[in-house]
Chain A
């Protein structure tokens, strides 16, 4: 295919291309300089995982194609893959047009085929996307003119591409193309089919006109792109590449906290460059908001708004800050306008993080802003402050006496580590199972299971103290570190190697966060451990109890934060007489929070419906006939107990922990 750029026209194209490249480069550089206003953060660990993510998440579009977005996801993937193929073709067009070089394999029937198929597919996807915006208007999607402009540009690109291809086919022989792939591409390509529509004699004019229109549109696109959310085509590449490779459940450590002067994020400069890049990358698709339990129940929190507020603030204030390093900065918009209510409504359930197709990290920003409120201003809600004071003084957020922490185990012959220093496992009981009478039953159930399986374990008793999860998630990094250091000291002094928890929050914190402070243990949540014990036939359960249907509720800190979806289900399935029900579609990675995470357990919930009540609504809506709802988390248990009570269904559906179901059927010798 000979480009219409003989002689002077090649220079015209060169000048246009350089011009567009200069504008594109200038604008991107501007964005990059704004990004550098953010604080430093190293994101180059685990290079192989980053490469894998680029392949799977960026190229493979893995996070787009998932429940409940399969069709939309595939639509986007088609546009994206088409875009890649067409970009390859565009590179070919420009190289040939300017210097006469060609990209490999472009002179083949196979390439013409692939290019054309994608052009048609992209065109179709663009039309659907356009119509969806215009007529369906998904509620959480940010619909702006920009979106239409971009879709129209892409559509126009495809039309011009197909047109000049058709014009070329009308005047040339396909035999001039290398027939790579043989019979596979025997039939006519879409453009080839259109060739018959080209009026005889107009082939050349049409080819030249459509070619220049196509090339011109590409250049216009390049100039326009950095000003739009469609820059995500580029930024996603980086956002995925620089995503957090530490466990999702681990919040970042504030290192050397005693010698720092400011903590958390109170203005644009306090966010890291990666957090600001998240803003550039947001496509305003609204999936995070779609899945947010706080927003769903009428709170002011909207995870997409948090990300966009930070971006808008950066674009608004950034240029001034670049000019004057000492310029005053203001708090992000959602602080000032709606006050911190938004921030305190977050349960850190990670539904947003899970849903985001471009790996934006919402929780970290929210916690960073909470850190500023709590640590700098002492402005946490009063109930949160009370919980923190209780952790500080009594080692548990409820303010129960430190001295009675181990009392639940009285009379059960459960040794403390002091009494049994050679125990294989430490059972880290956690505050809820130590003090809440409902959850004490779960602790006793686990103890019975471990004994029955012959597992060697001990507890810390009164020497255990809150792991620090609520404090950290309320933004009190300092208190978290004090708690963590205290536990690490205790565990190390007892030479603990392996830790069992029955609480996913204890599990997450000890497994994923204690290593930040030098506490490295082999940590296992009770349910995967019980699954292992079942597989090894160390536990046997008796049949005989009445058959029952049990719905499984995914705790966020088991599921989304730590990927433990199957072990609890396997254990449930192994319980004689139990038929498992799912709370579909809000199950597994789409599980709906109980409302207690992120320190919310100890805060008032006055806005909208209570999250746990919505969860019970979802449970009842499945009409599964379940008479029990099982989870593997003490917070969930407390919230579900409250929820079924509030809904008046406590007689017909009882919240339990999976461990209790197992313990009730243990074969006793």
Chain B
């Protein structure tokens, strides 16, 4: 990686905040979004943090953010700017754009901005697909590394740490490359107040898919039904009446046959 002026592009998605109690909407195939809190998808926040940690060490680093989504996504970009990202781009798109379309749109942005590294969260916590990152890498003809937890400069390229069971695979790559972030070293930073105020005033250019040469319509999976989440509480209480063994066997059976988690 170059000694200075490294350019990061972080792709993020605005999703219902992880604290939101998700409810299925009246149409039975989407979630109710009235009055809910929207945030940057958690893994995308880690991606931002990972890039900003690099910027902490080398202030010549620039970190740009981009999102493809509805107009409300602007708030998520502001949050990223408040955390310390340098600039943001909003690509307006509606539900018609699937993962492959979004990847194409970001690829167009990448070709313009020419970042050295593109980071995405490993998956967005709404559809949980994890498609856009690899698809973006594919569209650009770049390699990608998943489960990324650390980036280190190594010669002209980078070392990318991929978390797997029992440790990390360390991959070396020339630039440019796409990283699918699993975790940052530290928790995503809480923005400073001057950061929040500065972010409020920053221009966020808006683009649309057509301008980027993308016509939505790539093949995609389509949600046709959603089941409400199982209700918590009112669980089965088992009491040992002397026969602990039988109780243990019963619990194992329930977990296996009823809850299907064994």
Direct contact, A vs B (beta carbon within 8 Å): yes
A337 within 8 A of B: no
- Across-interface contacts of B39 in A (CB, < 8 A): 393
> In the complex, are the beta carbons of B19 and A378 less than 8 A apart?
no
> In the complex, are the beta carbons of B192 and A394 less than 8 A apart?
no
B143 within 8 A of A: no
Contact bitstring A477-493, B, C-beta under 8 A = 1, else 0 = 01000000000000000
In whole angstroms, what is the CA distance A403 to B23 when docked? 10
- Across-interface contacts of B23 in A (CB, < 8 A): 403
Contact bitstring B14-27, A, C-beta under 8 A = 1, else 0 = 00011111010000
In whole angstroms, what is the CA distance A389 to B40 when docked? 12
In whole angstroms, what is the CA distance A631 to B125 when docked? 41
> In the complex, are the beta carbons of A380 and B190 less than 8 A apart?
yes
Contact of A403 among B21, B187, B194, B195 (CB under 8 A): B21
Within 8 A of A (CB), among B88-132: none
B191 within 8 A of A: yes
Contact of B192 among A376, A389, A390, A399 (CB under 8 A): A376
Known: A382-B186, A393-B39. A375 touches B193 (CB 8 A): yes
> In the complex, are the beta carbons of B193 and A394 less than 8 A apart?
no
In whole angstroms, what is the CA distance A545 to B189 when docked? 53
> In the complex, are the beta carbons of A399 and B19 less than 8 A apart?
yes
> In the complex, are the beta carbons of A257 and B19 less than 8 A apart?
no
Contact bitstring A42-80, B, C-beta under 8 A = 1, else 0 = 000000000000000000000000000000000000000
In whole angstroms, what is the CA distance A113 to B168 when docked? 87
> In the complex, are the beta carbons of A378 and B187 less than 8 A apart?
no
A263 within 8 A of B: yes
Contact of B21 among A386, A388, A404 (CB under 8 A): A404
> In the complex, are the beta carbons of A394 and B190 less than 8 A apart?
no
A642 within 8 A of B: no
Contact of A378 among B17, B18, B191 (CB under 8 A): B191
> In the complex, are the beta carbons of B197 and A258 less than 8 A apart?
yes
Contact bitstring A366-397, B, C-beta under 8 A = 1, else 0 = 00000000111110101001101110011000
Q: Name which residue of chain B comes closest to A371, CB basis.
A: B193
A401 within 8 A of B: yes
B60 within 8 A of A: no
> In the complex, are the beta carbons of A385 and B187 less than 8 A apart?
yes
A402 within 8 A of B: yes
> In the complex, are the beta carbons of A376 and B193 less than 8 A apart?
yes
- Across-interface contacts of A380 in B (CB, < 8 A): 190
**Within the complex, what minimum Cβ distance (angstroms) separates A379 from chain B?**
9
**Within the complex, what minimum Cβ distance (angstroms) separates A261 from chain B?**
7
> In the complex, are the beta carbons of B20 and A386 less than 8 A apart?
no
> In the complex, are the beta carbons of A478 and B196 less than 8 A apart?
yes
> In the complex, are the beta carbons of A394 and B187 less than 8 A apart?
no
B37 within 8 A of A: yes
A570 within 8 A of B: no
- Across-interface contacts of A385 in B (CB, < 8 A): 187, 189-190
In whole angstroms, what is the CA distance A263 to B17 when docked? 29
> In the complex, are the beta carbons of B197 and A378 less than 8 A apart?
no
A92 within 8 A of B: no
> In the complex, are the beta carbons of A401 and B192 less than 8 A apart?
no
> In the complex, are the beta carbons of A394 and B17 less than 8 A apart?
yes
Interface size class of A (residues with CB under 8 A): 20 to 34
**Within the complex, what minimum Cβ distance (angstroms) separates B195 from chain A?**
7
> In the complex, are the beta carbons of A400 and B19 less than 8 A apart?
yes
Contact bitstring A261-281, B, C-beta under 8 A = 1, else 0 = 101000000000000000000
In whole angstroms, what is the CA distance A573 to B136 when docked? 71
> In the complex, are the beta carbons of A382 and B21 less than 8 A apart?
no
> In the complex, are the beta carbons of B193 and A403 less than 8 A apart?
no
> In the complex, are the beta carbons of B193 and A393 less than 8 A apart?
no
In whole angstroms, what is the CA distance A152 to B17 when docked? 68
Contact bitstring B22-62, A, C-beta under 8 A = 1, else 0 = 01000000000000010100000000000000000000000
In whole angstroms, what is the CA distance A385 to B190 when docked? 6
Q: Name which residue of chain B comes closest to A382, CB basis.
A: B187
Q: Name which residue of chain B comes closest to A462, CB basis.
A: B35
Q: Name which residue of chain A comes closest to B32, CB basis.
A: A403
In whole angstroms, what is the CA distance A376 to B195 when docked? 8
**Within the complex, what minimum Cβ distance (angstroms) separates A132 from chain B?**
48
**Within the complex, what minimum Cβ distance (angstroms) separates A480 from chain B?**
12
- Across-interface contacts of B195 in A (CB, < 8 A): 378
- Across-interface contacts of B194 in A (CB, < 8 A): 261, 375-376
> In the complex, are the beta carbons of A388 and B190 less than 8 A apart?
yes
- Across-interface contacts of A402 in B (CB, < 8 A): 19-21, 37
> In the complex, are the beta carbons of B190 and A257 less than 8 A apart?
no
In whole angstroms, what is the CA distance A385 to B49 when docked? 14
In whole angstroms, what is the CA distance A263 to B191 when docked? 14
> In the complex, are the beta carbons of A263 and B19 less than 8 A apart?
no
Known: A393-B19, A394-B17, A401-B19. A386 touches B191 (CB 8 A): no
**Within the complex, what minimum Cβ distance (angstroms) separates A214 from chain B?**
58
- Across-interface contacts of A378 in B (CB, < 8 A): 189-192, 195
- Across-interface contacts of A401 in B (CB, < 8 A): 19-21
Q: Name which residue of chain A comes closest to B83, CB basis.
A: A378
Pick the most buried of B19, B39, B191, B197: most chain A CB atoms within 10 A of its CB: B19
**Within the complex, what minimum Cβ distance (angstroms) separates B118 from chain A?**
25
Q: Name which residue of chain A comes closest to B22, CB basis.
A: A401
**Within the complex, what minimum Cβ distance (angstroms) separates A255 from chain B?**
14
In whole angstroms, what is the CA distance A375 to B196 when docked? 10
Q: Name which residue of chain A comes closest to B187, CB basis.
A: A382
Q: Name which residue of chain B comes closest to A254, CB basis.
A: B193
Contact bitstring A341-374, B, C-beta under 8 A = 1, else 0 = 0000000000000000000000000000000001
- Across-interface contacts of A478 in B (CB, < 8 A): 193, 196
In whole angstroms, what is the CA distance A668 to B100 when docked? 65
In whole angstroms, what is the CA distance A375 to B37 when docked? 23
Q: Name which residue of chain B comes closest to A399, CB basis.
A: B19
Known: A382-B186, A401-B19, A403-B21. A393 touches B37 (CB 8 A): yes
**Within the complex, what minimum Cβ distance (angstroms) separates B53 from chain A?**
13
**Within the complex, what minimum Cβ distance (angstroms) separates A363 from chain B?**
21
**Within the complex, what minimum Cβ distance (angstroms) separates B260 from chain A?**
25
**Within the complex, what minimum Cβ distance (angstroms) separates A568 from chain B?**
33
In whole angstroms, what is the CA distance A403 to B17 when docked? 12
> In the complex, are the beta carbons of B193 and A377 less than 8 A apart?
no
Within 8 A of A (CB), among B188-223: 189-197
A-B pairs, top 4 by smallest CB distance, nearest first, are A394-B19, A401-B21, A385-B190, A375-B193
Q: Apart from A378-B192, A403-B23, what are 15 other A-B pairs with CB-CB below 8 Å?
A: A261-B194, A374-B190, A375-B193, A375-B194, A376-B192, A376-B193, A376-B194, A378-B195, A382-B186, A382-B187, A388-B190, A393-B19, A393-B37, A401-B19, A403-B21
A–B complex contacts, Cβ < 8 Å, 16 sampled: A257-B193, A263-B193, A375-B194, A376-B192, A376-B193, A378-B190, A380-B190, A385-B187, A388-B190, A389-B190, A393-B17, A402-B19, A402-B20, A403-B21, A403-B23, A478-B193
Interface residues of A (CB under 8 A from B): 257-258, 261, 263, 374-378, 380, 382, 385-386, 388-390, 393-394, 399-404, 478
